[in-house]
Amino acid sequence: MWFRNVFLRTLRSYRIAILGWGVGMGLLVLEPLAASSTLVGTAAGRATMTQLAGSFAWNAAPIAVDTVAGYATWKIGVFILILAIWPLLAGARMLRGEEERASLDVLLSAPQGRARVALLKLAAMWTALLAIGALMGLVLFAGSRPFNPGFSLGDAQLFGLDLALVCAVYGGLALLLSQFTVDRRRAAGWTAAVLLVSIVVDSLHRLFPGTEWISRLSPVYYYNLSKPLVPSYGTNTGGMLVLLALALVLGGAAVLLFVRRDVGGVVPLPAWLRLPRRAARQRDALPAGDWSLRGVYARSLAMIAAPTVWWTVGIAGYAAFMVMAVVQVEHTLRSLTSSTSAVRSVIEKLGGGDVQANATLLSAIFILLPVLLMAFAVTQVSAWSGDEEDGRLELVLSTPQPRLRVLLGRFAALATATVVIGVVTLVASAAAAVAVGLKLDWGHLAAATLGIIPMGLLVAAIGYLASGWLRAAVDTGLVSFLLAIWFFISFVGPELSWPDVALRLSAFYYYGTPLVDGLQLTSVLVLVGVGAVALAVSSWRFTRKDIAR
């Protein structure tokens, strides 16, 4: 059944992504629901939630944050848009990826037009997004019942639909930009940049009154107009229609340009947008002495350099910003007049006066650091699997190069990148703490920032292991789903009174709270040991398998 037409075949290839992202994102939203359910029980807790949400309005508008669903909606804020990573990757490779593999030539040789093929593929991506939203809403509704959130199954489904629509916009944009680029990675990179700019533009009207007209230029603004999980706020039909129209326009424009250009070619940009061409020098045309061609490790470093720079800026910048934000949180907590005596004693220790109190507050924010580094590792696992699937590894192995050297060289380059990210994050966090006068235990700060390195390498090793048996899309979806499961176990499991043996199944359990307690050597050895075993098995499998199978 699934091979009857292009639509069903493409939708079939998204089956793991639908399951992984749908269930994973649903579980991800359950964590703030579980946390807020314990805070709304007291007047002091509700006042704290309201004050903190007002201080971090850049994340999302603080709507009904003294309720379970309202606080959870605010807390997930822009972080829920991590789902847009999948459609922007899928949109970039939908046509351009097949052109790179030359498989689109075979597909178009059948008696069917270009427009039909492109439209069916685009419809499959939209259908997959709708399925992800529906599954996410179902998981969210079923898992939130113990916390009495106050929203219905229909509200949860509308939440998933709103998220699917904004993700469809960026999927369509990636498809459109891929008509102007020679490879899918460049189109995905530019789309990711637009997504980040859109998030910043949307936050302007919450930080600077009178700038709402600027925020209206961002698709994220129209996504945030609806808050289905907050019954007192509801859904904005107009905002959802704007997102639908944007997705249709971007997707339609991409299909129109694809029909009019050569297969394998690009749409020429207007003269005023073209960069001036430089005459190619002999050493540029034949880079025989380039440092990146001296070995697999050097070449892998050159390939991973650009994404490493951007991920380093993002992760280190987030850590530094959160360190400075702790001072703002302290000022907010001091303004609470309804705090209990216990809360007041903690407040008095904040703001640079007590190392332990500062670490406790910052630790709750730093928990996203390993998640971000793991996400970076997932992207590099996808690149490794994609190189094998697209036949690029066959060229490397024909030089000849031992298979084990190729795999370990790529993994060593990834390990180098993770170490760089961890070290720069440590430096940025320490500099921010000194700048704002926040007292921290420097040893514990180093443990919190450098301790994310084994977490990233563990995910990479598991991804390399899975790539020995699975295709690139399935491999990436499986590892992403594993991250979501780990997150759910560590941050929702305790609220559900799960036993310690179940909590130990999550990698986050072994990361712990290093800002408060330091990094436990036993836990680090567990992460390193599991990662080493996964890497050893993946090496064994890679040296014996048929390439691209």
pLDDT digits (tens, 9 = 90+) for 431-442: 988 888 877 888
Give the pLDDT confidence score for residue 538 in this predicted structure: 92
Higher-confidence position of 500 and 418: 418
Per the prediction, the chain carries an average pLDDT of: 82
Nearest to 61 by CA among 194, 314, 239: 239
Nearest to 480 by CA among 82, 192, 172, 169: 82
Q: How far apart are CA 368 and CA 524, in angstroms?
A: 18
Q: In the numeric block, which tokens belong to residue 29?
A: 């939203």
Contact predicate 133/152, CB 8 Å: no
- HEC string of 457-485 equals HHHHHHHHHHHCCCCHHHHHHHHHHHHHH
pLDDT digits (tens, 9 = 90+) for 292-343: 667 788 888 988 888 898 889 888 888 888 787 776 666 655 555 444 444 4
pLDDT digits (tens, 9 = 90+) for 165-193: 999 999 999 999 999 988 888 888 889 88
Evaluate the CA torsion angle 63, 67, 73, 77 in order and state its sign.
positive
Give the pLDDT confidence score for residue 495 in this predicted structure: 66
Contact predicate 530/460, CB 8 Å: no
**Taking residues 442-448, what's their average pLDDT?**
89
Q: How far apart are CA 110 and CA 197, in angstroms?
A: 41
Give the pLDDT confidence score for residue 57 in this predicted structure: 65
Give the pLDDT confidence score for residue 345 in this predicted structure: 47
Phi/psi of residue 268, nearest 5 degrees? -65, 135
Higher-confidence position of 291 and 249: 249
Residue 422 CA to chain centroid, in angstroms? 18
From 342-356, 500-514, 523-537, the region with the lowest mean pLDDT? 342-356
Count CA atoms closer than 13 A to 534's CA, side-chain side. 19
pLDDT digits (tens, 9 = 90+) for 537-549: 999 998 888 875 6
Give the pLDDT confidence score for residue 82 in this predicted structure: 82
Quote the percentage of the chain above a pLDDT of 70: 83
Q: Which element (helix H / strand E) includes 523? A: helix 521-544
Q: How far apart are CA 406 and CA 340, in angstroms?
A: 60
Nearest to 205 by CA among 226, 222, 188: 222
Strand spans (E) along 113-156? none
Contact predicate 296/401, CB 8 Å: yes
Q: Cβ contacts of residue 337 below 8 Å, gap of 6+?
A: none
Count CA atoms closer than 13 A to 308's CA, side-chain side. 19
From 146-150, 339-343, 510-514, 517-521, the region with the lowest mean pLDDT? 339-343
Q: Which element (helix H / strand E) includes 276? A: none
- Predicted TM-score (pTM) of the model is 0.75
Higher-confidence position of 372 and 274: 372
